[in-house]
């Protein structure tokens, strides 16, 4: 009996990735391209788009810019239209656009909270609506992936708006999956947690700026709920950066790990997976709150990372 070899291929497919910033968005876009898809990259930042396209192209992929504000319906229709005009179809949509960070409930401003929720809510809705319509009209049984977060399932201090809108993403996915199932279009969420950046340009930039490998500026943790944290009544910050010792497998992974999993979720092998959440977090969400993982020197760790970006890191 001949054994089957699973080889993920997105050849012939067209993908749109919103929020192509240099960490998770760029990693997913690169992975989809490396697996054979043509990738349209969206952001409000021309710098982020240009860097993402350059990264895809230097690794042998094909990409195009899809600039625009995900909260504006005319803008979304415009860049989706430009993708259809160039490549004639959209098979994959990855809703990644979001505002990271923020403040805790004691300090967040109404304006910042509203903007963060708006970007996530309208970005997921409008792109799913118009990319979904483009798929349905053409009889394309596509895949839509909305990027969630461990903050959408569990609580963290200092990111109340982020936690609020990521929680909303999770149920939006289930509702949209029901709406689009009759068309053969799948809708799922993907949950990472604090991945270790592996984009060479981003790491080099943070090193020049004196940031930690997690992107934190010196002294940025401050007091709980605010970067300043100078009030006498403030409780100390809970997060100083490295989370790996609390992860059962010893690492939260990288955007490349995320990219591999999203590519598989968008492939034909995942044809019946819809309305669910795929978690890649080294076991962080699975562990009981009272469980303390083994010390780093006692962990076997995961298999070696299958690298997608061949750029030297030095």
- Annotated catalytic residues are 162
Pair of tokens at residue 144: 């839509």
Compute, in degrees rounded to 10, the torsion defined by CA atoms 57, 253, 199, 143. Answer: 30
Contacts from 103-110 at CB under 8 Å and sequence distance 24+? 103/158, 103/159, 103/160, 103/225, 103/226, 103/227, 104/157, 104/158, 104/159, 104/160, 104/224, 104/225, 104/226, 105/160, 105/225, 106/225, 106/226, 107/225, 107/226, 108/160, 108/161
Burial class (CB in 10 A: 0-12, 13-18, 19+), 166: buried
Residue 144: φ, ψ to 5°? -120, 125
What's the distance, CA 127 to chain centroid?
15
Report how far residue 167's alpha carbon sits from residue 149's, in angstroms, rounded to the nearest whole number: 8
Which DSSP letter does residue 226 get? Answer: B
């Amino acid at each position: 009996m001949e054994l089957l070899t699973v080889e993920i291929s997105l050849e012939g497919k067209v993908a749109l990735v919103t929020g192509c910033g240099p960490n998770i968005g760029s990693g997913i876009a690169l992975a989809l391209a490396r697996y054979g898809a043509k990738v349209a990259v969206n952001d409000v930042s021309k710098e982020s788009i240009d860097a993402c396209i350059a990264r895809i192209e230097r690794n042998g992929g094909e990409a195009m810019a899809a600039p625009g504000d995900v909260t504006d319906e005319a803008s979304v229709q415009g860049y989706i239209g430009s993708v259809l005009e160039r490549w004639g179809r959209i098979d994959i949509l990855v809703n990644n656009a979001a505002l990271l960070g923020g403040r805790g409930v004691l300090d967040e401003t109404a304006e910042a909270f509203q903007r963060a929720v708006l970007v996530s809510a309208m970005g997921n809705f409008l792109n799913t609506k118009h990319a979904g319509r483009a798929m349905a009209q053409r009889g394309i049984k596509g895949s839509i992936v909305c990027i969630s977060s461990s903050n959408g399932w569990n609580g963290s201090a200092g990111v109340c708006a982020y936690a609020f809108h990521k929680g909303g993403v999770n149920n939006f996915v289930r509702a949209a999956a029901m709406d689009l199932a009759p068309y053969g279009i799948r809708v799922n969420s993907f949950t990472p947690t604090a991945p270790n950046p592996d984009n060479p340009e981003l790491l080099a930039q943070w090193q020049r700026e004196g940031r930690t490998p997690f992107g934190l500026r010196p002294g940025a943790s401050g007091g709980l709920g605010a970067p300043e944290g100078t009030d006498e009544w403030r409780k100390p910050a809970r997060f100083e950066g490295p989370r790996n010792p609390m992860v059962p497998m010893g690492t939260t992974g990288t955007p490349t790990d995320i990219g591999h999993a999203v590519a598989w979720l968008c492939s034909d092998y995942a044809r019946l997976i819809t309305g669910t959440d795929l978690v890649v977090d080294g076991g962080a969400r699975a562990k009981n709150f009272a469980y303390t993982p083994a010390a780093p020197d006692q962990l076997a760790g995961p298999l070696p990372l299958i690298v997608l970006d061949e750029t030297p890191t030095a």
